Structure 1
Amino acid sequence: MITAPAAGSAIGGVVLVLPTGEPVSTRRPSPLAYARILPLARSLARAGAPEGLVVHVVHYRSRGWNGTDAHLAADAEWAADEVVRRYGDVPVCLAGHGMGGRAALRAAGHPAVNSVLAMSPWLPECDRAAEPEPVRQLTGRQVLMMHGTNDALCDPDLSYRLAERAKKINRDTCRFEVHSDGHALRQHHDEVLALASDFVLGALLSRAYSRPVADALAAPPPLGLRMPLAAGFGRSLRP
């Protein structure tokens, strides 16, 4: 756990942060993947803790997606069950990077989940030669994807095509492009974290979305699915 609720305080929502993994493996989860997702978890905690936001980083049983077993998505669903058991009826956001982004999208059908943040999602099966990645589980959820245009590990065109399919059944879907950035989204790190916080706090705590996020959600394709993440995003939102 990154944040714990203060004694007697109401919980406004829970974020389950999902690290990346490996395509096929039964080895224990990678400490490096866990460490790389901590800045996102801590940023969300700082932004939302005063309003009762609780942040957990999910520890998978193993690091592999493992084909149709989709173990990382199954672990995300288990974690959502644990949130319900521990906190009751509170909204949950699944926020993941890389393979964790795919797990977040895949596990979005859990009844407690109201929103999904998928960063540089790993979507190798979205090509035309394979079974399409499911999107119906995204219906009724707030969904934001973000992807670096120079991502050499996970093709950004695949996340665009997935977002395009998702938008047809769920109007509350948007996608931001982080121009010139790679898979890790390090070049525009501050803007990426600011966008993540803006979306998550709006989805879980009913804050008003910033104008770019609201516009992206409202815009039809392709505008709302190729929204550029502006340099300096979030600076005007800080107190």
Structure 2
Amino acid sequence: MPQDDTESPPKPAVVLPRRRPPRPRAAVLVLHGGQETSDSPTSPRQLAALRMDPILRAVTAALPHEDVLVARVRYRLRGWNGTRADAGRDTLRALDDLDASVGFVPTVLLGHSMGGRAALHAAGHPQVTGILALAPWWPSDEPVVQTAGRRIVALHGARDRVTSPTDTADCVHRAQGAAARAGMAVIGGGDHAMLRRHRLWHRTTAAVVAHLLDPDAVPDPLPEECYGTGSFPVL
């Protein structure tokens, strides 16, 4: 029998829980980075995915309540791939799966680099109440109308040479006209991989996520200047 050389289609996006309470009251979905263009399938061993492991641990350990579901999303493909926006589509699918699995729960999307773009793309999903983007890839023409009613926060390293802090600031400024609240802070000396000043990255990320999950009960760890319309503060 001749071999079938046709490539099998990529597997669907997968939600991989790190902590799954029986009746979650809220959720955090963690979105890793990727590449501008690639049809290669993702792997849990790729650097972009591994980079989020310490962030995931820090967030899970810092959450004040045990009834928050924490999970990572594994995309089908490594690339964003232009107008296909594959990682964005996968994030929307993951949110649909979350809704089908546990019903409506207020959800914070936590994304790094391309994962930050995926989070912004999916902001309009009914489950989403907040976004924290770390060193996000937010092109200057990225739409923000979908952030209406959501809380949006970005953290970007001052020494990032992969994605642009200036583009991130522009996107946040534009989102301030749509979102319930949008702000940004700059990590002084921080790089794209979040290795320089990693303790500050981890600590601030965990505190911001806890605030976004329950903004009325958990104080905002960022200074009020983060939400202004001028330049953003350096931490």
Match in the other structure for 1:221: 229
Match in the other structure for 1:187: 196
CA distance in 1 between partners of 2:221 and 2:168 (Å): 23
Question: Runs of at least 4 residues of structure 1 off by over 3 A?
Answer: none
Please report the RMSD computed on the Cα atoms of aligned residues, expressed in angstroms.
Answer: 1.6
Q: Secondary structure at the match of 1:50?
A: coil
TM value normalised by structure 1: 0.85
TM value normalised by structure 2: 0.86
Unaligned runs of 5+ in 1: 127-131, 230-239
Q: Deviations over 1:159-215 (max 9, x none)?
A: 0111111112225001010111111122121121222122211221343223535x2
CA distance in 2 between partners of 1:66 and 1:228 (Å): 33
- Are the aligned partners of 1:152 and 1:183 in contact in 2 as well (CA < 8 Å)? yes
Unaligned runs of 5+ in 2: 1-16
- Are the aligned partners of 2:183 and 2:228 in contact in 1 as well (CA < 8 Å)? no
Q: CA deviation at 1:139?
A: 1.0
CA distance in 2 between partners of 1:65 and 1:100 (Å): 10
Higher helix share: 1
Give the alignment of 1:105-144 within 5 angstroms: 105-123=120-138, 125-126=139-140, 132-144=141-153
Q: Secondary structure at the match of 2:83?
A: helix
Match in the other structure for 1:2: 18
Question: Does structure 1 residue 169 correspond to structure 2 residue 139?
Answer: no
Q: Deviations over 1:85-132 (max 9, x none)?
A: 111121111110011111111110101100001110113x31xxxxx1
Match in the other structure for 2:42: 29
CA distance in 1 between partners of 2:103 and 2:111 (Å): 23
Give the alignment of 1:1-239 within 5 angstroms: 1-5=17-21, 7=22, 10-30=23-43, 31=45, 32-48=47-63, 50-123=65-138, 125-126=139-140, 132-206=141-215, 207-213=217-223, 215-216=224-225, 219-223=227-231, 226-229=232-235
Q: CA deviation at 1:74?
A: 0.5
CA distance in 1 between partners of 2:136 and 2:123 (Å): 14
Specify whether residues 61 and 11 from structure 1 end up closer, same or farther in structure 2 by C-alpha distance, changes over 3 A only. same
Aligned length: 216
State the structure with more CA Rg. 2
- Are the aligned partners of 2:204 and 2:221 in contact in 1 as well (CA < 8 Å)? no
Q: CA deviation at 1:4?
A: 2.0
- Are the aligned partners of 1:101 and 1:120 in contact in 2 as well (CA < 8 Å)? yes
Q: CA deviation at 1:84?
A: 0.8
Specify whether residues 180 and 140 from structure 1 end up closer, same or farther in structure 2 by C-alpha distance, changes over 3 A only. same
